[in-house]
Chain A
Amino acid sequence: MNKVMSNKWIIALYVLPALLLIGVLIFIPLILSGYYGLMEWNGIGEMEFIGLENYIAAIQDLKFWDSALHSALLAIFSTLSLVVYLAISMILASKIKGADLLRKIYLIPMLLSSVAIAQLWIKVFNPANGMLNRILMAIGFENPPAWLANPDIVLYAIFIPILWQYAGFYILIYYAALKNVPETIIEAARIDGASPLQIAYRIKLPLIKGVVKVTVVLAIVGSLKYFDLIYVMTGGGPNGASEVMASYMYKLAFSTNDFGYGSAIGFLLLIITLIVTVIVRKLTADKDEIQY
């Protein structure tokens, strides 16, 4: 038995194809990204080694910091919206009729491609004929804004479809966790005279704390690397007002052919994401995890 199940050739045959693929297509490119960052390179011609110049330029690049700020704002809004999603899940999980159907309806936007979502919301936001302004005008607003063309508003306008897209995802996760809270504990609290709000805050919330922490990490890290929808909806514009880190990197490489500088930004994006992941995990870790 043990001899057969520890045959090195068979193990290699089963693990190596997958390992090679992630090695060649995930890990080597990440290392190369840091290396390309040390080069002056337009993507076609010769690479020229310039040391840390790209990285120093990135740190002094106001556009990069603007895009980082926008990514950070998205992370903050996403994290705050978790409170709303959690509240909705609490209501859904409190044995009300139709919870299953509602939860599935909430999830539908999550299934759509970013391009379809982007095109749909471009139409919703259309200043003259879009659904949003038509409704606003119908209820009496004279001059509703041009949502995606106004640099003061565009960033917040674009957050709406992003939060819309992920609402069902987080509600589903919380709902699944809440369904695992043992009924006996809640019953006991109810007999002791706890109100529904007290049960939610004092009993259910602490019991699903682990899942809440995971979603905080997901929301923050996901926001830092967010790209698709912003790229399609505004391309980071107008004038960089909705640029995020990943869209700025993509533009540098594939629109302005500054592959060296783009790679440096890409590598910084990786470093920032990893550091933030570690910090958020540390901040949310605690030893007296409640067991049930």
Chain B
Amino acid sequence: MNRIGYVFLYICLGIVAVFQIFPIIWLFLFSLKSNQEIFAGSPFALPKEWLWENYAKVWEGGIGLYFFNSVWITALAIIFTALLASMATFAITRMQWKLDKFVLGLFMVGLMIPIHSAIIPLFNMFLSVNLIDNPWSIVLTYTAYNLPITMMILLGFYYTLPREIEEAAIIDGCSVHRMFFRIILPMTAPVLSTIVIINMIYNWNEFVFVNTFISSDEYKTLTVGIQNFIGQYMTDWGAIGATLIISLLPILAAFIFFSNKVVEGISSSAVKG
């Protein structure tokens, strides 16, 4: 192709890149500005004075608690999901029983369900067992709703494991549990890291379950917490910007360190559906 063609293509791709990234850069810039500067200056300008105080202000204002809740709820749900999904996938793909295809089908049906159709009954069920306004309702829900997609990513990997591993282990007198936890599970480490990232993105950003099941401030996660927070700083755009940037940082950091895993996870979770 000629040079003009290439320049034109790069301009098109560049415009898309700017469109995708600029709102986030703008957000970062105004998180460091004063209201005066945001409202009077150019949206493209760098801050005259870099007001890192905006960050200190919102952190001291209580966002730290929401952040901590997000961390432990996200982490716990990821551990449960990865463990339960690995065990179920192991039994479905590696062990011999009649209903394996049917049970796998049940998990895969879970992929098509609009979660909003289940939320009123879920609310009522948690209410009747006193789990409303209790973070365990969130951990359990995240675990259950992430199982189907997690198992789908695991399936391909488990199908390709060689049978000889199990045969050798059993001849050596290894129990199934020992074989699973000591041999198979460690072998799935590459795909497990993909799963951790995909689950992290989902759990860290989840909104509707927390918004519905949790009412006390002390249990709210960052996504729902920032909603209140923004109400509190209604007109202070710098503080709002700082709050939002804080909520993005962990995911952006994970993406920068593990971007290939994220890319793998997203493409494998989507295309095989």
- B101 → chain A closest CB, angstroms: 13
- A33 → chain B closest CB, angstroms: 5
Chain A interface size range: 35 or more
Bound together, the chains give a CA A169 to CA B266 distance in angstroms of: 7
User: Closest residue to A253 on the B side, CB-wise?
Assistant: B120
Tell me the dominant secondary structure on chain A's binding face.
Answer: helix
Residues A113 and B167 in contact in the complex (CB < 8 Å), given A92-B13, A218-B273, A246-B116: no
Tell me the dominant secondary structure on chain B's binding face.
Answer: helix
- A46 → chain B closest CB, angstroms: 13
Interface residues of B in 42-62 (CB under 8 A from A): 42-43
Inter-subunit contact B204/A25 (CB<8 Å): no
Inter-chain contacts of B10 with A (CB < 8 A): 96
Interface residues of A in 196-248 (CB under 8 A from B): 196, 211, 214-215, 217-218, 221, 224-225, 227-228, 231-232, 246
The 8 A CB mask of B223-237 against A (1 = contact, 0 = none) is: 110110010000001
Inter-chain contacts of A227 with B (CB < 8 A): 116, 208
Inter-subunit contact A36/B120 (CB<8 Å): yes
**Within 8 Å of chain B (Cβ to Cβ): is A121?**
yes
- B263 → chain A closest CB, angstroms: 6
**Within 8 Å of chain B (Cβ to Cβ): is A105?**
yes
Interface residues of A in 259-281 (CB under 8 A from B): 259, 262-263, 266-267, 269-270, 273-274, 277
The 8 A CB mask of A71-110 against B (1 = contact, 0 = none) is: 0000000000000000010011000100000111111111
Inter-subunit contact B114/A254 (CB<8 Å): no
Residues A131 and B23 in contact in the complex (CB < 8 Å), given A91-B12, A110-B266, A273-B112: yes
Give the top 10 A-B pairs by smallest Cβ distance, nearest first. A113-B205, A32-B121, A225-B114, A29-B118, A14-B91, A29-B121, A25-B144, A270-B117, A18-B88, A176-B267
User: Which residues of B are at the interface with A, using a C-beta cutoff of 8 A?
Assistant: 1, 6, 9-10, 12-13, 16-17, 19-21, 23-24, 26-27, 30, 38-39, 42-43, 84-85, 87-88, 90-92, 94-97, 103, 106-107, 110, 112-122, 124-125, 140-141, 143-145, 147-148, 151, 166-167, 170-171, 176-177, 180, 201, 204-208, 212, 222-224, 226-227, 230, 237, 240-241, 244, 247-248, 251-252, 255, 259, 262-263, 266-267, 270-271, 273
